[in-house]
Structure 1
Amino acid sequence: MLNLNELTQALGDLEDGLVMDLLKEFVATNPSEAEALEAVAACQAGMAIVGDLFENGEYFVGDLIFAGELLTEAINVLKPSLGSGDTKVMGTILLGTVQGDLHDIGKNIFRSMAEAAGFEVVDMGIDVKVETFVTKAQEIKPQIIGMSGVLTLAIDSMKDTVDALKEAGVDSKIIIGGNPVTKESCTLVGADAFTTNAAEGIKICQGWE
């Protein structure tokens, strides 16, 4: 039987070989969907450890990226045991790095963690134009819209995008993330929440459900 605590700690310690060995042995036992969901939860708990260590300065951005990739791999190993995809979807998140910004590391970590948490994520990539956000939001009607940016100019793009979304009547919750984002800029942009940490961002999104 899979030791969930061992799996959580292995992911938190970024022991990729051990994580994969544990999960492959587990999947070979033909676990039930409920058991597979427990394994996903254990992986998510490991990601929370990574997030805490990052906040405390013990892990760095490279570790976060690695953890995000490891989590994605872990979920892929578990997918065959998770049934026909009729697991409860938390909601849909429309995600993108705003116009004028080409950074996607933080966005990709957030996407991996959101998918692992049960959200369906539509990722539009980098340098996403204001009108692209609006058109896609009207098309898929996401519960949450996530905007990422690393450059200071991204704040202006976020504000332009939020203004356009509201003008178009889109009523999704909006979370913004990235290095330049602060409480003040969140208010300026008109977003519902902000984060500089992917793990914290996921908790905020889960709280909206």
Structure 2
Amino acid sequence: MLSERKVLQDLVKSITDYDEEAASTAAEKAVEEGVGSIEAIEQGVAVGLKKIGEDYERGETFLPELMMGANAAQKALKVLLEHMPQGSDYRGQGRIVIGTVEGDIHDIGKNIVAAMLRANGFDIVDLGVDVSIQRFVDSVKKFKPDVLGMSALLTNTMPKQQEVIQALKHENVRDSVRVILGGVPVTEEWVKKIGADDLGKDAMDTVQKLKKS
């Protein structure tokens, strides 16, 4: 029987090695060894993704490696999400519309956040990636969420977060929803500058902040 620490280390390594098969195997092993899906996602998949994201931001790796790591993480997530608990202690937490902004096709980080929020009893409306400004606005009107979450992995797509907030104001629905931003390049300063409400630094940070609200 493997230790929980070893299982999580193998999961992290499979992602930083960009190894899809190893990632799937490591996730299956985590399930077999009784490691909770939430813990495996937060301390395994998310840690691996954070490392390759930091390497990318420092210029130590490039987009192909980033995408290979994301693909490996997706394989692990597929296994872990099948065993995700429903978070019975936190049902009825509220509705969240979430998506990656226009021009950005990265979804792994968003998917992890959405999975963690679902596990904690939030009702999630996932708009996917490359979401237009108008679709964000229309979704706020249609689904009447408590929270709107916008992810941007690239610095050149961050301005779309600001444009969505401006559009929400124009349509007189900004005050009806809490706006939380996420993504590797997004900072507290950016959140304040564009008039958003909060920054989700990672999946667990986002869950904790929204559960307190």
Structure 2: how far apart are the matches of 1:119 and 1:129? 23
In the alignment of these two chains, the number of paired residues is 185
Q: Any unmatched runs of 5+ in structure 1?
A: 1-5, 24-38
Q: Among 164, 169, 193, which residue is 1:166 paired with?
A: 169
Report the TM-score, using the length of structure 2 for normalisation.
0.67
Structure 1: how far apart are the matches of 2:103 and 2:69? 26
- Residue pairs, 1:134-149, within 5 angstroms: 134-149=137-152
Structure 2: how far apart are the matches of 1:18 and 1:122? 30
Aligned to 1:21: 32
CA offsets, 1:136-181, max 9 Å, x none? 1111111111101122232221111012223322421111111221
One-letter amino acid matched to 1:49: Q
Aligned to 2:21: none
Distance 1:48 1:151, change over 3 A: closer
CA offsets, 1:176-201, max 9 Å, x none? 11122111111122111113423322
Q: Among 194, 200, 203, which residue is 2:208 paired with?
A: 203
Aligned to 2:102: 99
- Residue pairs, 1:111-150, within 5 angstroms: 111-150=114-153
Residue 140 of structure 2 aligns to a residue in which SS? helix
Aligned to 1:185: 190
Deviation of residue 203 (structure 1)? 2.1
Distance 1:95 1:88, change over 3 A: same
Distance 1:169 1:156, change over 3 A: same
Residue 100 of structure 1 aligns to a residue in which SS? coil
Q: Any unmatched runs of 5+ in structure 2?
A: 12-25, 55-65
CA offsets, 1:13-71, max 9 Å, x none? 53423333356xxxxxxxxxxxxxxx9xx432443433785599599877787567545
Report the TM-score, using the length of structure 1 for normalisation.
0.68
Distance 1:194 1:126, change over 3 A: same
Residue 147 of structure 1 aligns to a residue in which SS? strand
Structure 2: how far apart are the matches of 1:71 and 1:104? 12
Structure 2: how far apart are the matches of 1:131 and 1:101? 15
Deviation of residue 125 (structure 1)? 1.5
Question: Percent identity at matched positions?
Answer: 28
Aligned to 1:153: 156
RMSD: 3.7
Between 169-178 and 112-121, report the one with greater CA deviation. 112-121
Distance 1:67 1:115, change over 3 A: farther
